[in-house]
Amino acid sequence: MTNALESRITRQDTVDPKTLKANQLNWRTHPHEQREAMTEILNEVGWVQNVIVNERSGNIIDGHLRVDIAVEREEPTVPVSYVDLADEEERLVLATFDSIATMATADPDQLSKLLDGIILPHGALDTLLNGIIGDNSPPPAIDNSGANTDEQLEGLEFRVVIDVVSAEQQAELIERFEKEGLICHALIS
């Protein structure tokens, strides 16, 4: 029998977002499309997830973008969950928190049930949800000789996975590619 998991959550509060401290080791960047989608969902629904802050360091662990948007909007408060983590634990959580979520895969039938009846808003959320919904049929074969027509390739998304040797190299590549206008997603495996 395993022991029960320890809760590291110490308290919850609502605080002025201007008083929260961005984590200097935060390796996530937030492209324009993500900022627009987050702004739209906050406008549509409001707060459904607390910002996470480490009591010991005062650093944000999760929620940097939501805090930035709240500051821009001059929101008086944001919901915060405080946790108690040692420095090395804070680093581990910061490195893995969102990365673990990106490992999830989609069940097309369940996704279809979830999205049935949702009226897609216009703008960034529409783009996001349509990207999730997609067309669950297999994509056409890609002819790497360059013989594909634009019509065959229309509507497809193209992805490249690049293996790197360090988080620093990953961050440098993401920064470089985003400056070139590419949308990047950092993964850790």
Residue 73 CB partners (closer than 8 Å, separation 6+): none
CA 118 to centroid of chain Cα atoms: 21
Average pLDDT, the chain: 82
What stretch(es) of the chain map to CATH 3.90.1530.10? Answer: 9-107
Residue 93, pLDDT > 80, answer: yes
Class of domain 9-107: alpha beta
Identify the residue with better confidence: 188 or 108. Answer: 108
Euclidean distance between CA atoms 62 and 55, whole angstroms: 13
What percent of the chain has a predicted confidence (pLDDT) above 90? 41
Tell me the mean pLDDT in the region 107-132.
70
Question: What pLDDT is stored for residue 128 in this prediction?
Answer: 67
Please classify residue 86 by burial: count the beta carbons closer than 10 Å to its beta carbon, then call 0-12 exposed, 13-18 middle and 19+ buried: exposed
pLDDT tens across 1-21, in order? Answer: 678 999 999 999 999 999 999
Residue 147, pLDDT > 70, answer: no
Euclidean distance between CA atoms 187 and 174, whole angstroms: 11
- In sequence order, the β-bridge partners of residue 62 are 52
DSSP annotation of 61 reads E
Residue 142, pLDDT > 60, answer: no
Residue 115, pLDDT > 70, answer: yes
The pLDDT-based confidence of 187 (bands split at 50, 70, 90) is low
The pLDDT-based confidence of 130 (bands split at 50, 70, 90) is low
How many separate helices (H) and strands (E) can be counted in the chain? 7, 4
The pLDDT-based confidence of 139 (bands split at 50, 70, 90) is very low
Residue 102, pLDDT > 50, answer: yes
Question: What pLDDT is stored for residue 119 in this prediction?
Answer: 67
Which helix (H) or strand (E) segment holds residue 11: the answer is strand 9-15
CB 58 within 8 A of CB 21: yes
Residue 150, pLDDT > 50, answer: yes
CB 128 within 8 A of CB 115: no
Residue 188, pLDDT > 70, answer: no
Tell me the mean pLDDT in the region 156-185.
78
